[in-house]
A and B are shown apart, each in its own frame.
Chain A
Amino acid sequence: MSLSIRHSWFEATARQRLAGLLDPGSFCEFLPPAVAQPSPHLAQLELPGAFDDGVVVGAGQLGGRLVLVAAQEGQFMGGAVGEIHGAKIVGLLRRAVAEKPAALLFLIDSGGVRLHEANAGLIAISEIMRAVLAARAAGVPVIALVGGSCGAFGGMGIVAKLCSAVVMSEEGRLALSGPEVIETVAGVEEFDAKDRALVWRVTGGKHRYLMDDCAALVDDDIAAFRNGASALLAGWQERPNTLASLRAEQVRLQGRLATYAGCRDGLEVWAALGVAEPARVPLLDCDELIALKEGLPT
């Protein structure tokens, strides 16, 4: 990393991320304030709404190529999916099927279902899941970018893993149940949600990258996400699922379930992966970690 000024992805708003991710001035929002409406369900609970309902959708250019973008705002209701929020993403993914952009970039920053609109949120996530697969089946790569303060949890964790590829920062977190939920239900001995180092060793970007659960690891920097997404797309060929590809994934997942069955911490998994000094992994910067992964036995 050079000494140029970083613009933290983690701390940025959804709109700041989009401004730095896309070619300057190329972004066009699809439901700007004039035609948007806040969630009536939140209003019914006397909670403040947002005109974009916590997700910005639109089109822009990345390196001169047309891309569609959806960016969740983690600072509004934890980026959680309600009826309007979910419907905007579904509409964008359906648009991708017809419009065939070079890619759909999905800036995920969400705890999953918005409980205040629980049923609408769960169904919307199911619709997003099918729509992601439909966009991919139509040949449009869907790239998830995960590095925000809310990570990608709950149903949005599943959605991220349905995308063509995931780009993460070390600060990003990707999982199903949040550590707080597991601690509440199963006890602090099972998962101490306040132990931030442990949370990152279980759900964080470095762990996911070492385990091939994300395709690329980038610095917590908006320009780094832009470069990471561009590099990934440069040689990308969206391939439809086949029986053979799903069988191969099945074998991979079964194999690692057997290999790492007894592990309870990232440190143990990394040691089993062949990392000589697993305790040093949290201290490595992004480039060092990528080099370490490239040197691992395959």
Chain B
Amino acid sequence: MTLNTILDALFPAGHAVAVANQVLAGEAQTAQGPVAVLGTTDAAAIDHAMALALAGTVLDTVEQHPGRPLVFLVDTSGQALSRIQELLCLNGSLAHLASCVDFARRQGHPSLALVTANAVSGGFLSFGLMADQAYALADAQVRVMDLRAMARVTKIAHERLVELAASSPIFAPGAASYQKMGAIAAIWPAPTAILLLEALREVAQSRDGGDQRQTLGTARGGRQLAAGVSGQVQHAVFAG
């Protein structure tokens, strides 16, 4: 699905989104008013320039359009893999981007991310997973690493990983796993204006509750332990 097809389907009332260096920036109309549209396309490998472009758009929106919702379209293959990027502390630029998204939330901007094609590790962490809620299109690829590479790194047989992936959302790649684990709110069969509006409403209603992903993961049966363990640490009696 091309970017324009997705934009037309989400924003039939109109959109003006520019693409430069695989980074999207612009605005669109919805039945609930204008939204800022930003994100990446064509499986972008996020580098300093992309992270700073996204962060700049977030800050511009906070400054010029108080309260305007942020809609992130996520298509990233992860972070750029290069020595030059690491030399200038790529994790620092990704952290800056994450800080800007978090700041926008605190300033009253609801945010949602829609994974349109790929969402992989560092690229996903820096903005998609920082939004109030993340959604994914049905054929989206969401993962840390594919199972073959994972087999190589962990030295566990590929067949064994495939077998376990069938029953365990803990490491099976795919949007459905992330939904069970609480990190993706819903999977959309196709991009539509109605689903987007519903999502914007949901985000506006749930955003005061803080990060609810552990609780959702428990309720959906994907993460049985996280919420309980965090609670134990939070409330442990301190003898000191």
A residues apposed to B, CB below 8 Å: 26-28, 30-31, 35, 37, 40-41, 44-45, 57, 59-61, 83-84, 86-88, 90-92, 94-95, 98, 113, 115-127, 129-131, 133-134, 137, 152, 154-155, 157-162, 174-177, 179, 181-182, 185-186, 190-191, 202-203, 207-208, 211, 213, 241, 243, 246-247, 249-250, 253-254, 256-257, 260, 263-266, 269
Partner of A162, one of B55, B99, B145, B230: B99
CB-CB under 8 A for A92 and B177, given A28-B239, A190-B82, A250-B59: no
Contacting residues of chain B (205-234) with chain A, CB-CB under 8 angstroms: 210-211, 213-214, 217, 223, 225-234
- Chain A residues within 8 Å of B59, by CB: 243, 246-247, 250
Query: Considering the complex of A and B, which 5 residue pairs feature the smallest CB-CB distances, nearest first?
Result: A91-B233, A91-B230, A161-B95, A157-B91, A87-B229
Give the bracket for the number of chain B residues in contact with chain A.
Answer: 35 or more
Given contacts A134-B210, A158-B94, A177-B81, contact A119 B170 (CB under 8 A): yes
Looking at the assembled complex, report how far the CB atom of A66 sits from the nearest CB atom of chain B, in whole angstroms. Answer: 8
Residues of the A chain whose Cβ atoms lie less than 8 Å from the Cβ of B210: 134
Which residues of B are interface residues toward A (Cβ below 8 A)?
Answer: 48-49, 52, 55-56, 59, 62-63, 79, 81-96, 98-100, 102-103, 106, 121-122, 124-126, 129-130, 143-145, 150, 153-154, 156, 160, 164, 168-173, 177-178, 181-183, 210-211, 213-214, 217, 223, 225-236, 238-240
* B164 with A121: CB separation less than 8 A: no
Chain B residues near A246 (CB, 8 Å)? 55, 59, 96, 99-100, 103
Contact of A95 with B234 in the complex, beta carbons under 8 Å? yes
Task: List 23 interface pairs A-B (beta carbons < 8 Å), by A numbering.
Answer: A83-B229, A84-B229, A90-B226, A91-B229, A92-B233, A92-B234, A113-B144, A115-B144, A115-B171, A119-B178, A120-B170, A130-B102, A137-B106, A158-B94, A161-B91, A161-B92, A177-B86, A177-B122, A179-B83, A202-B87, A213-B92, A253-B93, A264-B87
- Give the A-B contact count at a CB cut-off of 8 A: 255
8 Å CB contact of B164 from A45, A124, A213: A45
Contact A241 B103 (CB under 8 A): yes
Chain A nearest CB from B160 CB (Å) reads: 8
Partner of B88, one of A28, A45, A117, A256: A256
Q: Which one of B153, B160, B238 lies within 8 Å of A115 (CB-CB)? A: B153
Asked if A31 and B150 make an inter-chain contact with CB atoms under 8 angstroms apart, the answer reads no
Given contacts A174-B89, A243-B62, 10 further A-B contacts (CB under 8 A): A115-B171, A127-B226, A161-B89, A182-B83, A202-B87, A211-B88, A246-B103, A253-B92, A253-B93, A257-B49
Inter-chain CA distance A22–B17, complex, in Å, is: 52
Given contacts A90-B214, A129-B130, A208-B89, contact A202 B83 (CB under 8 A): yes
Residues of A within 8 A of B217 (CB): 123
Given contacts A130-B211, A246-B100, contact A120 B226 (CB under 8 A): yes
Which residues of A are found within 8 Å of B122, using beta-carbon distances? 154-155, 158, 176-177
In the complex with contacts A91-B231, A246-B103, A119-B172 CB distance below 8 A:
yes
- B156 and A254 contact, CB distance less than 8 A: no
- Given A118-B145, A158-B98, A250 contacting B56 (CB threshold 8 A): yes
Q: Hey, which chain A residues are within 8 Å of B172, CB to CB?
A: 119
Q: How far is the CA of A83 from the CA of B231 in the complex (A)?
A: 14
B interface secondary structure, majority: helix
* Contacting residues, chain A, for B106 (C-beta < 8 A): 137
Contacts of A116 on B, CB cut-off 8 Å? 154, 156, 171
Chain A residues positioned under 8 Å from B213 (CB to CB): 123, 126-127
A contact residues around B81 at 8 Å (CB): 177, 181-182, 185-186
Bound Cα distance A235, B213 (Å): 36
Query: Min CB distance, A208 to chain B, in Å?
Result: 7
Neighbouring B residues of A211 by C-beta, 8 Å: 88-89
Which residues of B lie under 8 Å from residue A88 when comparing CB positions? 229-230, 233
A209 to B83, CA, bound (A): 18
Partner of B121, one of A127, A155, A203: A155
Contact status of A119 and B177, CB under 8 A, knowing A243-B62, A243-B63, A257-B48: yes
A59's partner among B89, B226, B229, B238 (CB-CB below 8 A) is B238
By a CB distance below 8 angstroms, the chain A residues around B63 are 243
Residues of chain B within 8 A (CB-CB) of A133 are 98-99, 102
Contacts of B232 in A (CB 8 A): 30-31, 35, 91
> Given A176-B90, A203-B86 in contact, is the A253-B96 Cβ separation under 8 Å?
yes
**What residues of B have a CB within 8 angstroms of the CB of A40 in the complex?**
225
Across-interface contacts of B121 in A (CB, < 8 A)? 113, 122, 154-155
- Check A162–B154 contact: CB distance below 8 A: no
A12–B79 Cα distance when bound, in Å, is: 31
Q: Is the CB of B153 within 8 A of A90?
A: no
Which residue from chain A places its CB closest to the CB of B126 in the assembled complex? A158
Q: Is the CB of B164 within 8 A of A257?
A: no
